[in-house]
Every structure is written in C-alpha cells, then in structure tokens.
Structure 1
Amino acid sequence: MTLPAHVPAPRALPALDGASLDGRLYTRVTGLAGRSPGWLDVMAAHWSAYGLGLFAVLMLAAWWRARPGSAPRIAMALAAPAVVVLAYAANALIKALVREERPCRTLHTVTLEVCPGPDDWSFPSNHAAIAAAAAAALWLVDRGLGVIAALAALLMALSRVWVGAHYPHDVVLGLAVGAAVGWCLTASARRGAPLVERARASRLRPLVAPR
C-alpha cells in the first residue's frame, strides 16, 4: 500500500558504524587468530558454531537436579528454555532496529568464519545473548552449573570475535541483554511455584519430583 504524498514514511534508525567504535581491536583479534596454531582456531570455530548445545545440556541437568528441591526452584528450571527464547527475541529486535553491518563486510578482513551475507546484522550478538541468558537462568537455579555456564558464555562471546563474526561491542551488549532478560524473567518464574505444587499431585509428578 502506498502512503499519501502528505504522509511521511516512517524512518528507520540510522545504521550503527561499528568500525568506528572498536574496529581496530577487532582486527587485532582476527589478526591474532590468523597467526595462532591451527588446533586453536579449529577449537574456537567449533565452539563458536556448536557451543550453544552445551547450554541446553546444562539446562537439562539443572532441571534434573532441581526436582528434589523447592517448588520455586523447579519453576525457574522449567522456565529456563522459554527465558532463553525470549532473550533471543529481544536481542533480535535490537539487531533489526540498529542494522549494524558485519565487521567482515565493512573491514574486509580475512576471518575464520565465512562472512554472513547482507542484512545479516551484527549488533548485538545473538550467540552471546543466548549464552548469557542461559547462564543467568542457571545461576539462579543451580549455582554450580551457573558458574560453568557463565564461563562458557564468556568463551562463546570471545569466540564470536575470534572467528570474525562480531565486533567486541557486539558481544558485550549481547551478554548484557541476555543476562538482564535471563535474570529478570527467571526470577519472575518463581511465581509459578503453585503450579509446580499442583503438578506434584498429578500425573506430571515425574517432571517436578523424584519418583
């Protein structure tokens, strides 16, 4: 549908110029990656591509370990996957509004990862947001698993710069968005404790309590 001539079209936000923020740091990191031993680059590339699977395993372990515990803790454990999805959605919305070009396209550097195509925006990092949201949720549910997840989230953020997919500020804000959304929503999930108590008295008991 075409807007009438007297109605101005909505204006998008101006695209972020990431290279002016920390482009030099980005090229230093990718340059270091290019000079590093092959085994290190292979490990970083595999972690960058597949490392998010670890957070799924940790959330499953947190649910299993939470079952003998209190109803609020179980409610938070069950909510963790949904929390991560919502954190991803929030991060993707920011990404669509800011429209920062990928550094590998702007700076034309040699990177370990194939440069994504146009309109695959860079800021903030979805990988970092997902990892941080999972880490925040796990921290509230199971502190031991939360420590592992927090370290893994930092490694995920570093790997995304190392392989050339993101600027440093992309992963920093991704971590911040994921952690903020993950913490707030997981803490709110405690309110689901009455539902957990009802489930313990139903056929769903195996999901919320040991046999």
Structure 2
Amino acid sequence: MTAAATAQLAFDGSGIDGSLFTSVTDFARDTKWLNTPMEVWTNLGLGVFAVLMVVGWWTARRRDTRAMTVALAAPVAVVTAFAVAEVVKKIVGEVRPCRSMPHAYLVDACPAPSDYAFPSGHATVAAATVAALFLLNRRLCAIAAVFALVEGFSRVYVGAHYPHDVLGSAVLALPVAFVISLALRRWATPLVAALGRGPLRPVLTAEPAADAQPQPAAERTAVPVPEPMGEPVTEPVTARRTAG
C-alpha cells in the first residue's frame, strides 16, 4: 500500500479541534522570535525528564528500599506508557495536522505519512514521567508537571499535533505509568533489597555495608590497663641530722 493510500485510510482529526490548532499555529506565526526556542525544546526537552528521573534515583539512595524501587521503576513505567501509546497510534491512525491542514503555519518539519498523530509520543513521555515521580518525590513531580505542560504546548505550537493528541497522551500515560510504578513498588522491592546486599549496593543505597560501619564508642573494645601488683610500699624518710 502506497503512502497516499495509507493517508486516505487514516483518520482525520481536524474536525475535533482543528480551529484551536490553527489558533495556536497562528500565534506561532506572530511570535517568530519564539519559533527556534520552541522547536529546540520540543525535540530536546525530553532530556529534562531523563535528568529528573536520574535526580530521583540519586535522592532515593539516601532513603529506603521502597523509594529506590520506585526510582528504578520510573523509566520502566515511562517506556511501558510509550509502548502502549505507539500501539494506540497504529490502531487509530490519525493523520498529522500538517497533512490534514496543509495551509497551517508550521515550525517543525512534517513527519512521514506513516507517523501518525494520536497520541503524541513526546507528550506521553512527559506525562508518564510526572506519574512515575509522583510516588517518589512530590517536588520533582511538580517540576516535571511544569515541563510537561510546556512540552505539550510546544507540540501544538510547532504544528506536530492537535491539542486532543496531547490531551489524549496525558489521559493514557498518567494511569499506565502510575499503575506500573505502584505494581513494581509492591512486587520488586524484595528483589531490590536482595541486590542491595551484593555488588550493586553502591548504586542502590548511600548507606555503607554493615561490616564497614564504625562501631559505636560504647561497643569498642577497651584497652586493658595493667593493675599494680599489691599495695605500694612507702619507705619512711628519716631526716638526716647534720653533725655539729
């Protein structure tokens, strides 16, 4: 099947919120000074979410095993959500707005016809990171949420997705990533605890091994002090008389 035939069979989402899409792309036309920063962010911003997960892992090293399990589960949850989104994308087969609405202003290049729009892969990764960090660190979760909103808006701004593509990504990714993280926290914690007793301990915890911890002062072996053999003998001092 040719690319043109594939496009004809695919779903056209312009009737859902095409007018909102063009409102955002018209805004992009009027803010050309913002085009390059948004294009750079929309393509490279996913690295920020990877950094946030690394920070979550680092902070989890000073916490308990459950926290470390959630930190390790975060990338698994994100990858799982992305895989589910890719399956949905193939099933729905929504044509990209750059093809359904070719006269709209575009900042980013139009993807291949076989690269469908719903849901947004970038927005899926962003939303899944938010859900994965929710069980680990609320502060990192809040930071990720702000960046996720910017990432979602950027996908519409550059003309890559309709607004409903981004919203659908959040609806899909948030529960999938949350459930995966929750399940792994429950079932994988014993495995992480076992690995923490082996060579991977420095990766999983900042706590030193039990045999490397210094003994408390009360438990240290006291150095024996030799006791004197019997009572000391005191010799009387006799004053010497000076011969006169």
TM-score by length of 2: 0.78
- 2:137 match: 142
RMSD, aligned α-carbons: 1.1
- 1:195 match: 191
Paired positions, count: 197
Measure the CA separation in 1 of the matches of 2:193 and 2:114: 46
1:205 and 2:196 are equivalent in the alignment: no
Q: Where in structure 2 are the equivalents of 1:29-44 lying within 5 Å?
A: 29-38=24-33, 40-44=34-38
Residue 164 of structure 1: which of 155, 159, 178 is its match? 159
- Residue 47 of structure 1 aligns to a residue whose secondary structure is helix
Instruction: Say if 1:102 and 1:121, in contact at 8 Å, map to a contact too.
Output: yes
Which range moved further: 163-172 or 197-206?
197-206
1:82: Cα distance to partner?
Answer: 1.4
Q: Where in structure 2 are the equivalents of 1:124-139 lying within 5 Å?
A: 124-139=119-134
1:164: Cα distance to partner?
Answer: 0.2
Which range moved further: 40-49 or 167-176?
40-49
- Residue 121 of structure 1 aligns to a residue whose secondary structure is coil
1:110: Cα distance to partner?
Answer: 2.3
Q: Where in structure 2 are the equivalents of 1:91-102 lying within 5 Å?
A: 91-102=85-96
Q: Deviations over 1:50-97 (max 9, x none)?
A: 000001111001000001212111101011111111111000000000
Q: Deviations over 1:161-191 (max 9, x none)?
A: 0000000000000112111111110111112
Instruction: Say if 1:72 and 1:189, in contact at 8 Å, map to a contact too.
Output: no
Q: Which amino acid aligns with 1:46?
A: V
1:129: Cα distance to partner?
Answer: 0.5
Which range moved further: 65-74 or 91-100?
65-74
Runs of 4+ deviating beyond 3 Å: none
- 2:172 match: 177
Instruction: Say if 1:87 and 1:133, in contact at 8 Å, map to a contact too.
Output: yes
Gap regions ≥5 residues in structure 1: 1-13
Instruction: Say if 1:157 and 1:175, in contact at 8 Å, map to a contact too.
Output: no
Measure the CA separation in 1 of the matches of 2:165 and 2:69: 31
Q: Deviations over 1:27-58 (max 9, x none)?
A: 010011010141x2221111101000001111
Measure the CA separation in 2 of the matches of 1:52 and 1:127: 7
1:47 and 2:37 are equivalent in the alignment: no
Q: Which amino acid aligns with 1:58?
A: L
1:16: Cα distance to partner?
Answer: 2.7
Gap regions ≥5 residues in structure 2: 1-8, 209-244
Q: Deviations over 1:96-127 (max 9, x none)?
A: 00000000111112200011121110011000
- 1:10 match: none
Q: Deviations over 1:185-210 (max 9, x none)?
A: 01111121111211221111011110
State the identity %: 43
Instruction: Say if 1:103 and 1:164, in contact at 8 Å, map to a contact too.
Output: yes
- 2:108 match: 113
Measure the CA separation in 2 of the matches of 1:175 and 1:16: 20
1:90 and 2:76 are equivalent in the alignment: no
Measure the CA separation in 1 of the matches of 2:11 and 2:133: 32
Instruction: Say if 2:127 and 2:174, in contact at 8 Å, map to a contact too.
Output: yes
